[in-house]
Each structure stands twice: as structure tokens, then as C-alpha cells.
Amino acid sequence: MKNRDLNFLVEKVGYFDLDGDAKKKIWQKAQEVVFSDTVTGNSISKNQAKAKMMWSDEGLFILWQVEDEHIWGTFENDDDPIYDEEVVEIFIAKGENIPNNYFEFQFSPLGVKFDAKIKNPTGDRHDSGFNVDIGWNCESLKFIQHCYPERRLAKGETSRKTTSRPFPGTWVTEAFIPWKSLNVENAKKGDIFRANLFRIDGYPKQNSFQAWQPTLLDPPNFHVPSKFGFLELE
């Protein structure tokens, strides 16, 4: 790719089981990107997020690492609107062209996922043709998350998936997306994908919107496929 700033080089590895350990040896050789403010493009000095990716014959591995002064969440069911609280995200589609259709994956810090197929024919989420199909589920999607320090259940709480009591720390999301769920057969070196990576932060209201490739829109808007970067399988 000509513009290296837009290019994420994704190393190939053998398939491995997820354990949420960001320090394990297999992740050490992967390229890392640090997110910027999606509205201004400025670097983030506090509550920073970063990501790595690798691929195997079976699918794509993604690792997010997030600093957070207030880890929290109130949703506990998959496909709940976790995007209204705190999440990490990836939008992705096969091919070099600006996609009109792509896949969206979100993960809350407390273990809830949101996956959907997106139709965005004009690149404008406010267009009548824009559609989010939350009825689609990514078959064989895997992910695991850890918060550090590990949160203890407060009095009266019964689930680690929700908390109205924010706590400071870091959280890690390690995910595996199978190629077959992205309509990809026989992924190979040199294949190109369009994608962007995001993080939403803030308590009690969202106040930080971060991206690998900033969309430079205010109010914040992640659904801008013309701003997607390029993933190149190495």
C-alpha cells in the first residue's frame, strides 16, 4: 500500500486459544496502533486505547488494551445497545474499495458483545438506505475479557457483566472472528480489507470517542467507510 499510515500489516500465526493475556509471546511481534481522538485527530494522553491484530487460516485475531478511570456497564445481554456506554469496536469488509456493506463488532468491558451487518450505500448513516441488521450473529465468534484489577462483586450484585459502580483500571479484549463469517474463503497473504477500530469512553456520559483512523466529524460518527484504513495480510 502506498500510504503506510493507513496500512495495518497483519502477521500470520497458527491458530491459538484465547485467554485474554496481552503479554503472551505470540502477541509480541504484532504491529500495534494507538487510537486518536476521532473528532480532532489529536493524540490521546489519558485513558488511552491501542490494538493489535494477527491472522490464521481460520480467521482474524484482535487484541484491544484500554486504560480507563471508570470501567462500567449496565447491559448484560448480547446485542443490547452497549454503544451507549463503553465499548471497543471494529468495522471490517473484504477488498480495497470503500465498502457499502461491512460487519460491525463491539465489546463492552464487562463481557457483552454486539455484532451486526451494516448497509451503508452512500457512506452517510443518516441516509434512508443505512441499515443495521442486529439479527445477524457471527457464527463461531470467540472473545474473552479481563479487567485489572479484577472487580469484586459489591453487596447486592449477582453478575460481573454489569456495574453501576465504576472502578479504575485497565481492560483487555481478545477476540477471534472466523473468516467464514466475513464471507471470506481461503484467506491468503496479500489480501486487503477495509477496516477501522474504535473505542468509546466516559462516565456517566460518553465524552471520549477514539479511532485508529479518525473520521474528523463532530458530532462523532464512526460509520464513515471512506475513512477506513487498510488491513494487509502478511
Taking a C-beta distance cutoff of 8 angstroms, is the pair 6, 226 a contact?
no
Taking a C-beta distance cutoff of 8 angstroms, is the pair 120, 71 a contact? no
Q: How many Å separate Cα 155 from the centre of its chain? A: 32
Other beta carbons within 10 Å of 120: 22
Domains and CATH numbers, the chain: 4-15+46-233 (2.60.40.1190)
- Mean pLDDT to the nearest integer, 37-41: 98
Phi, psi torsion values for 10, nearest 5 degrees: -105, 115
Q: What is the dihedral sign for C-alpha 182, 178, 138, 173?
A: negative
79 CA to centre of own chain: 15
Distance CA 127, CA 215 (A): 17
8 A C-beta contact, residue 110 and residue 144? no
CB–CB of 19/174 below 8 Å?
A: yes
Contact indicator for 127, 140 with CB cutoff of 8 Å: no
Q: What are 131-162's pLDDT values in tens digits?
A: 999 999 999 999 999 999 876 656 566 566 66
C-alpha–C-alpha distance, residues 99 and 59, integer Å: 20
pTM of the model: 0.94
Q: What is the pLDDT of residues 68-122, one digit of tens each?
A: 999 999 999 999 999 999 999 999 999 999 999 999 999 999 899 999 999 999 9
pLDDT at 154: 60
Strands 7-12, 229-233: pairing kind? parallel
